[in-house]
Structure 1
Amino acid sequence: MAKLELKDVRKSYGPVEVIKGIDLTIEDGEFCVFVGPSGCGKSTLLRMIAGLEDITVGTFEIDGDRMNDIAPAKRGIAMVFQSYALYPHLTVRENIAFGLKVRKTPKAEIDSLVNEAVTMLQLDKLTERFPRELSGGQRQRVAIGRAIVGQPETFLFDEPLSNLDAELRVHMRTQISELHTRLRRTMIYVTHDQVEAMTLADKIVLLRGGQIEQIGSPRDLYERPKNLFAAQFIGAPKMNIFELEGDFVSLRDQMQLPADAQYCGIRPDSFDIVPEGNGIMSATVRLVEYLGNTCLVHAQIGSHAPIIVEQPVGSKLIVGDQVALKTMPNALHLFTKDGCRIN
């Protein structure tokens, strides 16, 4: 069991408060992802859970037991860092077994745990290699294996894939997801990559400026962003935002929008390009990006910054084309002047 609770948790460095009152419950067996821009406090929060940073104010509990003053080694937590931190003079097997040997675990138990881990992580043919003989993805799997053999109740991942190339990131994402399915342990994963957050998480915690902006499933954050920040951070390409004045004041009447709606958000894949006169707005094509399975059309509407419209690959648009854009009312995300969601 590993249910984690943070109650009004704050962290200050002198007069500077970087974590500003976090209330959060992570259920046993849940895969929770902390996501947000650089400097939002996600890694600091993870290190407080691990016990590597002191909590200035508030309480951190595991299964109802207060952990504020408990040493990291006694919290039942294992951490996988962005840096692999492998011992270069030890083989794969020796690196994975190192922590068990330090704890004076019986040799038979070490062998059993290491064998299980290397099989699970597909490292069984690499056990006698040294870190310098491994690829980045293999080194990260060794680091994960070292965490697994300690049989922790909770795993913490601090941007573990950021040093890998794109193809390896996708492969390792799959392996980490499969690992969670097998172990059913509580996992907390820190990333600034919202694609990783969307594909891995049971629960996403979106952070900004040391505070929680929204908590929910990937579908919750994508389909019902709580505010403008969440709307534009989650989703790639990001949501198009229109202020309902100037070039877009007519949208209010055309779409029968409520009076308190100040901003309207439309995702790129919610637009259709239709014949002139049938759309809700007209635009000029500025750039067309071919991505293989889709095209991203960058279009200019008046003086507004270019918007992005996602289209099928069969689209024949070229730079300079005039297009009409249409969307359905249920595709609109409406926000007040303060950026809070309306519908």
Structure 2
Amino acid sequence: MAKLELKDVRKSYGPVEVIKGIDLTIEDGEFCVFVGPSGCGKSTLLRMIAGLEDISDGTFEIDGNRMNDIAPAKRGIAMVFQSYALYPHLTVRENIAFGLKVRKTPKAEIDSLVNEAVTMLQLDKLTERYPRELSGGQRQRVAIGRAIVGHPETFLFDEPLSNLDAELRVHMRTQISELHDRLKRTMIYVTHDQVEAMTLADKIVLLRGGKIEQVGSPRDLYERPQNLFAAQFIGAPKMNIFELEGDFSALRDQLQLPADAQYCGIRPDSFDIVPEGEGILSATVRLVEYLGNACLVHAKVDDHDPIIIEQPVDTQLRFGSTISLSVTSAQIHIFAKDGDRIP
């Protein structure tokens, strides 16, 4: 069992505060993903949980026990790094067994645990190879195997797939998800890739500038972003945002938005192209991207930044075409002047 709680956790390097009061509960067996732009503090927060960084202020608990001053090796946590960190002179089997040997685990138990791990990770035919003889995905599986054999209560993953190509990333995401289902252990995963966050997480923690912007399920963050940052960070392509002033002030009345609405957000797949004069916006096509299952239409609306409209693959549009856009009020997200969501 491993329920993790962070209570007003802070981290400072001299006068610079990089983690600015984090309150968060991660339930036993949950797959929690920390996501956010570079420099938001997600890896620092993970390292504080692991014990690799000191906590400047606040409390970190595992199952109600304070962990601030507990050594990393005694926290029941295993960490998988971006760099794999394998020993080049050891075989796959020796790399996975290394930590167990350091802890003087009996040989029979080591053999049993390693055999179980290599079978689970489909490495059983690679056990006598060295890291230089493995692909990136195979090396990452070895690093995960080394973590598994210690039977930790919590797994920490620090951007483990960032060195892999796109196809291998998808494959490894599936393997990590299956591993979580099989082990039923608490997992915390750091990534800057919101697609990884959406596909893996039970719970997403969206960070910016050392603070939490929103916590919730992938569906929560996609369907009900709590502020403009969450609205534009989650979702690919990102949400189109219109400030309800100047050329777009008429949208407030057309869409029957409340008087305190300062911004409205519309997802690319929420637009419909309608006959001229029947829409709420008129736009000029700048680019059409064919993706196989859909087309992304990049269009210019007055002085607004280019917007993106997702359309079926049979859409016939050309550069310079003028289109009329419609959307229903149920598909609109509205935000106040401070950027917070209006319910």
TM-score by length of structure 2 reads 1.00
**What is the CA distance between 1:82 and its match in structure 2?**
0.3
Aligned-partner SS, 1:229: helix
Q: 1:295 — aligned with what?
A: 295
1:121 corresponds to which residue? 121
2:291 is equivalent to residue 316 of structure 1: no
Instruction: Give the letter aligned to residue 15 of structure 2.
Output: P
Q: Please state how far the C-alpha of 1:246 moved relative to its aligned partner.
A: 1.6
Indicate the SS of the match to 2:146: helix
Cα offset for 1:249?
1.1
Shift of 1:278: 1.2
How many Å apart are 1:247 and its aligned residue?
A: 1.8
- State the partner residue of 1:233: 233
Instruction: Please report how far the alpha carbon of residue 116 of structure 1 lies from its aligned counterpart in structure 2 after TM superposition.
Output: 0.6
Secondary structure (helix, strand or coil) at the match of 1:219 reads helix
Equivalent runs, 1:96-111 vs 2, <5 Å: 96-111=96-111
Deviation per CA, 1:168-191, whole angstroms, max 9, x where unpaired? 000000000000000000000000
Deviations 1:19-77 (A, max 9, x none): 00000000000000000000000000000000000000000000000000000000000
Residue 5 of structure 1 corresponds to: 5
Secondary structure at the counterpart of residue 140 of structure 1: helix
What do the CA deviations read for 1:144-190 (whole angstroms, capped 9, x no partner)?
Answer: 00000000000000000000000000000000000000000000000
Offset at residue 243 of structure 1 (A): 0.3
- 2:254 maps to 254
CA distance in 2, matches of 1:146, 1:193: 25
Is residue 208 from structure 1 mapped to residue 208 from structure 2 by the alignment? Answer: yes
Compute the displacement of 1:266 (Å): 0.1
CA distance in 2, matches of 1:60, 1:147: 22
CA drift of 1:277 comes to 1.3
**AA partner of residue 336 (structure 2):** T
How many Å apart are 1:279 and its aligned residue?
Answer: 0.8
Return the letter of the residue paired with 2:131: P
**2:273 counterpart residue number:** 273
Structure 2: gaps of 5 or more residues = none
Residue 340 (structure 2) aligns with: 340
Please give the alpha-carbon distance, in whole angstroms, between the structure 2 residues aligned to 1:251 and 1:341. Answer: 17
User: What do residues 103-135 of structure 1 show as CA deviations (whole Å, max 9, x unaligned)?
Assistant: 010111111100110010000110010000000
Other structure's SS at 1:188 match: strand
Aligned amino acid, residue 64 of structure 2: G
SS at structure 2 position matched to 1:117: helix
Q: For each residue in 1:292-315, what CA deviation from the matched residue of structure 2 results, as whole angstroms up to 9, or x when unmatched?
A: 111100010001110000001000
Please give the per-residue CA displacement for 1:218-270, whole angstroms capped at 9, x wherever unaligned: 00000000000000000000000000012211111111110000000000000
- What are the superposed Cα offsets for residues 72-96 of structure 1, whole Å, 9 maximum, x if unpaired? 0000000000001100010000000
**How far apart in 1 are the matches of 2:8 and 2:249?**
42
**Other-structure match for 1:194:** 194
Which residue is equivalent to 1:243? Answer: 243
Any conservation in 2 of the 1:237–1:308 contact (CA below 8 Å)? yes
Describe the SS at the equivalent of 1:46. helix
Contact 1:282 1:324 in 2 (8 A): yes
1:245 and 1:315 mapped to 2: Cα distance? Answer: 31
Tell me the secondary structure at the aligned position of residue 288 of structure 1: strand
Contact 1:96 1:145 in 2 (8 A): yes
Assess if the C-alpha contact under 8 Å between 1:247 and 1:301 holds in 2. no
Partner of 1:61: 61
Q: Which runs of 5+ in 1 are unaligned?
A: none
